[in-house]
Amino acid sequence: MNNKLRNIKLVITDIDGVLTDGSLYYDADGEALKCFHVRDGLGIRMLIESGVQVAVLSGRDSAILRKRIADLGIELFLLGKLDKETACYQLMAQAEVSAEQTAYLGDDSVDLPAFAVCGFSAAVADAPDYVKQAADRTLTLAGGKGAFRELSDLILAVQGKDGIYRSAQGFLAAAKKMAQ
């Protein structure tokens, strides 16, 4: 696993069930709320500031998702895409990385094609067993509860870039560009 993480230059993540707990809150006008974990946002920014690109890939599209993506400064994203295999290849091409340099974080069956084409795959702790079995690693945290940050910390540690989250100096050096 560590050898695969050493070469990661792009992390593609699902949103619902990964960056959120998967709950959808509707009002009369449609999707109204989603809850994102602040540590995941910081993990995204730490990866980006450390030279690892982050992309978002979701089968859903909404103003809420677009707002969160913009708040975090994520430039690579595809929304409303159920064909995640093709979408992963598109994101890899945009990021100019190979499949072996790409990690994918998902939580459900719709993510399995992405697992199959990315060099490293991870599932959140509360994913169904058949999704966890297909992943290279199952995280200890659930979707919407800091799972992305867990993966971010793993990648940064393996790549020797963990000073950004382990020390005040490391964090402060990158903090000017951070968002949560």
Residue 126 labelled as part of a binding site: no
Q: Is 45 annotated as a binding residue?
A: yes
116 burial via Cβ count (<10 Å: 0-12, 13-18, 19+): middle
Output the DSSP codes for 47-78: HHHTT-EEEEEES---HHHHHHHHHTT--EEE
Q: Please check if 166 is assigned to a binding site.
A: no
Annotated binding-site residue? 60: yes
Q: Is 93 helix (H, G, I), strand (E, B) or coil?
A: helix
Question: What type of residue is 132?
Answer: K
Residue 80: which residues within 8 A CB-CB, separation 6 or more?
58, 59, 60, 61
Place of tokens 């994918």: 104
Feature table: binding site for substrate:
16, 45, 60, 68, 84
Feature table: binding site:
14, 16, 45, 60, 68, 84, 107
Feature table: binding site for Mg(2+):
14, 107
